[in-house]
Amino acid sequence: MLKLESGNANVAGAATRGWFVGNLAAWAAQRGAPSDTAGTPRQSDRVQVKWLVHPPGDERRDWAEPDDSNTLSILLDGEMQLAFRARAGESELVRLSAPGDYAIWSGAEYSHRWHTEAGCTMLTVRWRAELDEADS
């Protein structure tokens, strides 16, 4: 049975680049860190959630590798520019500038990278694409 838990997403994701819900045990193991995830509702193999405050000038220069997940990124404050490259080679820039602006994409179809001039706060949710396919 899962327990009730409250906390701060910034603090909870400090050791995992902002990811605070997901496969916490695997992330800790990758870093050689101890992990006691028993009973925490933040441990999940089905969904991952990230809260990240990006400082001004923060960027991901390299393209993210394709994966088997769908991703939803929502701007909470500031601004963010996302660059997408489709498997077929087309590219697209998406600028998030108002709270609530979002981008949603398939990791199997698009690589991405990002940049923020002024800094921002983003909430990102990622889930396995096959969960959507099973619902179809």
pLDDT in tens, 33-43: 666 666 788 88
Please check whether residue 20 is in contact with residue 13, taking contact to mean a CB–CB distance below 8 angstroms: yes
Q: Is residue 126 situated within a structural domain?
A: yes
Q: Return the pLDDT at 66.
A: 85
Same domain, 35 and 68: no
Gap between the Cα atoms of 1 and 41, Å rounded = 9
How large is the average pLDDT for residues 45-61?
95
Q: Over 60: is that where the pLDDT of 136 sits?
A: no
For the chain, state the CA radius of gyration. Answer: 16
Kindly report the pTM of this predicted structure. 0.85
**What percentage of the chain reaches a pLDDT higher than 70?**
90
Q: What is the pLDDT of residue 65?
A: 86
Domain membership of residue 75 (yes or no) is yes
The string of pLDDT tens digits covering residues 83-125 is 999 988 899 999 999 999 999 999 999 999 999 999 999 999 9
> What CATH code is carried by the domain that includes residue 63?
2.60.120.10
23 and 72 part of one domain: no
Separation between Cα atoms, residue 101 and residue 79, nearest integer Å? 9
The residue that leads in pLDDT, 22 or 38, is 22
pLDDT of residue 134: 55
Average pLDDT over residues 49-72: 95
Domain range for 71 is 46-135
The single-letter code of the amino acid at 14 is A
Distance CA(124)–CA(48), nearest Å, equals 8
Tell me what pLDDT residue 80 has.
Answer: 98
